[in-house]
A and B are shown apart, each in its own frame.
Chain A
Amino acid sequence: MALCTGYMGKSYDIDLSTGEIKILDISQHVDLYLGGKGVGTRLLYDNTPPGMDPYDDRMPLIFSTGPLTGTSAPQSNRFVVTTKSPLTGAVANSTCGGDFARQLKRAGVDVVMVRGKAKAPVYIEITDEGGASIKDATRLWGKGAVETQELLPKGFGKAVIGPAGENRVRFACIVSQERVAGRTGCGAVMGAKNLKAIIADGKMKIVAEDKDAFEELRKSMVKYLKSHPMTGKILPDLGTANIVNTAAGRNILPVNNFQRGTDHRAPRISGEALAAKHLKRRVGCVNCPIVCGRGIDLHGKRTKGPEYETLSIMGSNLGNFNLPDIFEWNYLCDDLGMDTISTGGVLGFATELTERGMLKSNLSFDSHEAVAGLLHDIAHRNGLGDDLAEGVKRMSEKYGGHDFAIHVKGLELPGYDPRGCYGQGLEYATTNRGGCHVQGATMFLEATGPISIDPLSVKSKAGLVILQQNLSAAICSSVFCMFSSYAMLPRQVFGLDPQGMSYKAVTQVLLNSGPILELVLKAKAPLSMLWFEKFLTYVMGKKVSLGDYTELGERVFNLERIYNIREGFTSRDDTLPPRILNESTFKGVSGGVPLHEMLPKYYRIRGWDKYGIPRDQTLDRLGITT
Chain B
Amino acid sequence: MATLIPNYALAEIIGEKIEIDAGTVDELIREGIARYGEPFKKAIAHAAIAVNGRTISYLKGKKTKLQAADTVWLILPASGG
Contacts and interface: CB of A to CB of B under 8 A. Distances in A.
Interface of A: 229-230, 234-235, 239-243, 245-252, 261-262, 264-268, 270, 272-273, 276, 292, 307-308, 420, 441, 444, 448-450, 452, 454, 456, 483, 486, 494, 498-499, 503-504, 507, 585-587
Given A234-B76, A235-B80, A449-B78, A267 B48 contact: no
Interface string B63-77: 000000001011111
A246 B61 CA distance: 18
Contact of B53 (A229, A239, A265, A585): A585
A490 to B, nearest CB: 12
20 contacts: A234-B78, A239-B81, A242-B81, A245-B73, A245-B75, A245-B76, A246-B48, A248-B5, A250-B54, A250-B55, A261-B53, A266-B5, A276-B9, A420-B53, A449-B80, A483-B80, A483-B81, A499-B61, A504-B57, A587-B53
Contact of A276 (B6, B8, B73): B8
Interface in B13-70: 16-17, 48-50, 52-58, 61-62
Contacts of A267: 5-8, 11, 16
Contacts of A264: 3, 5, 16-17, 71
B57 A494 contact: no
A245 B53 CA distance: 11
Contacts of B6: 267
B81 A499 contact: no
Contacts of A308: 81
Given A248-B73, A262-B71, A267-B5, A586 B52 contact: yes
A498 B50 CA distance: 10
Contacts of A504: 57
B78 A450 contact: yes
Interface of B is mostly: mixed
Contact of A498 (B53, B57, B71, B81): B57
Nearest to A507: B57
Interface of A is mostly: helix
Nearest to A263: B5
B76 A242 contact: yes
Contacts, number: 127
A589 to B, nearest CB: 9
A250 B58 CA distance: 12
A591 B9 CA distance: 35
Nearest to A493: B78
A233 B9 CA distance: 17
A251 B52 contact: yes
B81 A240 contact: yes
A243 B8 contact: no
A270 B81 CA distance: 13
A452 B76 contact: no
Nearest to B56: A499
A501 to B, nearest CB: 9
A395 B62 CA distance: 46
- List the 4 closest A-B pairs by CB distance, nearest first: A251-B53, A240-B81, A249-B73, A249-B75
A223 to B, nearest CB: 20
A483 B78 CA distance: 14
A619 to B, nearest CB: 34
Contacts of B16: 264-265, 267-268
Given A245-B73, A248-B5, A249-B75, 7 more contacts: A242-B76, A242-B79, A245-B79, A251-B50, A448-B78, A449-B78, A499-B62
A424 to B, nearest CB: 13
Contact of B80 (A261, A444, A498): A444
Contacts of B81: 234-235, 239-243, 292, 307-308, 483, 486
Nearest to B25: A499
A586 B78 contact: no
Contacts of B8: 245, 267-268, 270, 272-273, 276
B30 to A, nearest CB: 15
A352 B25 CA distance: 36
Contacts of A450: 77-78
Contact of B78 (A248, A262, A456, A494): A494
A246 B53 CA distance: 10
Contacts of B62: 499
